[in-house]
Amino acid sequence: MDDSLNLAGRAAVVTGAGAGLGRAEALALADAGAAVVVNDMGAAAHDVVDEIKAAGGQAVAVTGDVSDWSLGDRLVSTAVENFGSFDILVNNAGILRDKMIFNLSESDWDDVIRVHLKGHAATSRAAATYWRGESKKAGGPVFGRVINTSSEAFLFGSAGQPNYSAAKAGITALTLSTSQGLSRYGVRANAICPRARTAMTEATFAEATTTGLDPLAPERVGTLVRYLASPASDEITGQVFVVYGKMVALMAAPQVENRFDAAGDEFSAAELDQQLTSYFSGRGQYETYSAYSIAELEKPALALGE
């Protein structure tokens, strides 16, 4: 294995790793040589630990809800106590409570924001505290990687997922802040927007293909996570990737489309009407801040027989 892709001697935490994407990510990191702290709510975390150990790897389970602020500290300390270091954080844990905005209950909103956004924040805060301390002890940068799980739902503004879309937008902003705040300590933070067939998404996607690796197999996402966790990714931070099928797409930052200036010191409503109304006249339904152009990626990405 190329040394720049080798994770031997590194320790990783993967949340929501008892099944689906998290499991695939934990197995991919272990395959690259990392010791893995496997987090999930129940016994499935222990099952994944057994899988990793059966393949010759190192792993330990920590059960608990990521939205419990103290769990972040426990995950980091478990990595350090069991494996001697903590180097990689993969935030994956999440839930769905899909509703249109007019059917959304308070608990639908609170539960999704709590698990996704607060869960990412709790672990990121614990990781940041650890790496900052280690950097001060070392007198320079240390090795640290954060891979957060965002979603195309935030890029599109998914109509049936106002809670999930908002949480994922927040996670993207959290990733950018983490990247900016921790870069001086050697930490790299990126977000992925994966499509994968899991128990949580089985109602969303069509049935799997019967030949070859499913285009939406979680293992495809695990490979990108494995790479972003490695020394090879040292110059990649503050980025958002869409990943599925045989494709990894790098998202561009939002751009200023146009600038409107008042003739004098401030706008009047009439002047705003004069400039903006004509500019937006006849504008298409999908010509909004939403990144609907990303749908154009789908066909080439899933045409795996080409």
**Catalytic residue list:** 151, 164, 168
Contact 2, 38 (CB under 8 A): no
How many other C-beta atoms can be found within 10 angstroms of the C-beta atom of residue 249? Answer: 14
DSSP, res 297: G
Contact 12, 90 (CB under 8 A): yes
Residue 290 one-letter amino acid: S
Contact 195, 244 (CB under 8 A): yes
CA angle (246 as vertex; 245, 252 as ends), nearest 5: 90
Rounded to 5 degrees, what are φ and ψ at 246? Answer: -100, 25
CA angle (24 as vertex; 176, 107 as ends), nearest 5: 60
First to last CA, the chain: 29
Separation CA 102–CA 92 (nearest Å): 28
Sign of CA dihedral 253, 254, 257, 260: negative
Task: Please give the full DSSP string across 146-211, using - where no structure is assigned.
Answer: EEEE--HHHHHT-TT-HHHHHHHHHHHHHHHHHHHHHGGGTEEEEEEEE----TTTTTTSPPPPSS
Residue 69 one-letter amino acid: W
